[in-house]
């Protein structure tokens, strides 16, 4: 049975959606909303689990909370599989024992944030640069809980007009970026190499580059778009996480909503 911790103003039901009541007495910041969603997600964690530990500003709260519960003795025998070097450092700092997919090819539960969530619980991830390891680990999970604030909900993938990341090999990156642009030009696509410090290319934990795709139109068949992107030589992985999320926890100023797979429409 999952542990229940400080539900704040959350009420639970077994249906596909849970709505908090009453509303909070003050306006919450985006970071406070992220923390609320993360703490709710950690309620799914049980002692003895192998956990996929996500990357980003929302997932950071979940990692901190898991470490806190371990120190308090409310969780025991947890093994974490980090999705990035940054998360690895954070998890070690809060006392979470770590391993990897080679030792644990099946993960009980992963908790991570997302950059976009559509009505069917398809996701965009990777604006933090960790999409490949996130997809490997979360794809190996029995349950994948996504934590977001309400600003991340979109009508369709790409709907925020922010980046859809694609990880590519550095070799002849301009060639690959142009192939990506042409592939999706019917959707008003722009393809830009992500830059890091001092204007140099951003380099992922895997030594690759990222091309950020900005779309003006709905791609429609996401499975077909996914397959077409992955067929391009030079592409390593893209940031669409299709049909992977089991549950999405959405924190808003009026409380928390929970959408479960197959009950979200």
Residues with catalytic function: 134
What is the chain's length?
265
Q: What burial class does residue 63 get, using C-beta atoms within 10 Å of its C-beta: 0-12 exposed, 13-18 middle, 19+ buried?
A: buried
Q: What is the DSSP letter of 187?
A: G
Residue pair 107/137 in contact (Cβ under 8 Å)? The answer is yes
Q: Whole-angstrom Cα distance, residue 222 to residue 247?
A: 20
Quote the tokens at residue 209: 């580059």
Quote the tokens at residue 98: 């770590």
Neighbour order of strands in the sheet with 247-252: 79-82, 50-53, 107-112, 141-149, 247-252, 255-260
Q: Whole-angstrom Cα distance, residue 95 to residue 182?
A: 47
User: CA angle, 44 as apex, 41 and 45 as ends, to 5°?
Assistant: 105
């Amino acid at each position: 049975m999952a542990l229940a911790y400080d539900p704040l103003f959350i009420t639970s039901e077994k249906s596909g959606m849970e709505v908090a009541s009453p509303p909070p007495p003050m306006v919450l910041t985006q970071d406070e909303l992220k923390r609320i969603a993360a703490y709710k997600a950690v309620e799914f964690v049980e002692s003895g689990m192998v956990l996929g530990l996500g990357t980003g500003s929302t997932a950071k709260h979940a990692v901190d909370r898991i470490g806190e519960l371990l120190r308090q003795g409310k969780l025991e025998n947890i093994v974490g599989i980090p999705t990035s070097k940054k998360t690895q450092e954070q998890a070690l700092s809060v006392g979470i024992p770590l391993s990897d997919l080679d030792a644990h090819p099946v993960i009980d539960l992963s908790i991570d944030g997302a950059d976009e969530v559509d009505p069917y619980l398809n996701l965009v991830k990777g604006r933090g640069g960790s999409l490949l390891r996130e997809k490997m680990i979360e794809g190996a999970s029995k349950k994948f809980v996504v934590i977001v604030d309400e600003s991340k909900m979109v009508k369709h993938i790409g709907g925020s007009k922010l980046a859809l990341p694609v990880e590519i090999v550095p070799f002849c990156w301009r060639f690959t970026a142009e192939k990506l642009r042409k592939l999706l030009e019917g959707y008003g696509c722009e393809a830009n190499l992500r830059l890091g410090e001092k204007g140099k290319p951003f380099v992922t934990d895997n030594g690759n580059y990222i091309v950020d795709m900005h779309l003006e139109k709905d791609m429609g068949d996401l499975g077909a778009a996914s397959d077409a992107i992955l067929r391009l030589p030079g592409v390593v992985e893209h940031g669409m996480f299709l049909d992977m999320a089991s549950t999405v926890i959405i924190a808003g100023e009026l409380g928390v909503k929970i959408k479960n797979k197959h009950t979200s429409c």
